[in-house]
Amino acid sequence: MTQLDAAANWARSNSLWPMPFATACCGIELMATASSRYDIARFGAEVMRFSPRQCDLLIVAGRVVMKMLPVLQRIWLQMPEPKWCISMGACACTGGVFDTYAVVLGVDRFIPVDIYVPGCPPRPEQLLNSIIELQDAIKKHGTLNGTEFADRRTAEGPAPLSLEELRRSRDFLLAKAGDEALAQQQRTAPPTQ
């Protein structure tokens, strides 16, 4: 690593601009880190922006459902390189206690995650510790032009459904709804004699 890389890494690590993606109780703990008691500003990460084009650290806090996943992926793709991601809480890391079809069982299946923060919900101290660990990693491994992120250029995640798959699922749901309506009608019909 050259001296110029070291200077760039020092500047990047001490001026992280987080993009909060908080959906549940972990979001309250994320907000608490900005309070005077924990003071995330001591580590240069107090500038929380809600515009992905101005951020370089995505903090996913709380559960992510399938309907929110395209939004999360779009936010990730709109963030400029170099960028990092912290998965905060059991729900963001593994789906937590929500073992259902609608909840994503770990955001790392769809976007690259650099640091995992376990807990339900994790304490603000844990988030501060993960930011310190991320800063150490940035200082050790970064380069001036960000060549270490070259493999992140393609969008990740599930492929969208084809038109034929959408038609089949619509037909199935319509047939199922028709069968249920017929069964309901037979249950409510008066008995014939």
| Residue pLDDT, tens place only, 7-42 | 877 877 777 888 888 888 888 888 888 877 888 777
Does 127 score more than 80 pLDDT?
Answer: yes
Predicted confidence at residue 66, as pLDDT, reads 86
Q: How confident is the model at residue 191 (pLDDT cuts 50, 70, 90)?
A: low
Q: Which helix (H) or strand (E) holds 87?
A: strand 84-88
Question: Residue 112 corresponds to which tokens in the numbers above?
Answer: 């690259």
Predicted confidence at residue 1, as pLDDT, reads 60
Does 83 score more than 60 pLDDT?
Answer: yes
Dihedral class, residue 14 (left if φ above 0, else alpha if ψ from -120 to 50, else beta): alpha
Residue type, 78: Q
Question: Residue 34 corresponds to which tokens in the numbers above?
Answer: 């900005």
CA–CA dist 141, 34 (Å, integer): 27
CA–CA dist 93, 117 (Å, integer): 8
Query: How, if at all, do strands 57-61 and 115-117 pair?
Result: unpaired
Q: Lowest-pLDDT range, 105-114, 115-124, 141-150?
A: 141-150
pTM exceeds 0.75 = no
What does pLDDT average to over the chain?
A: 80
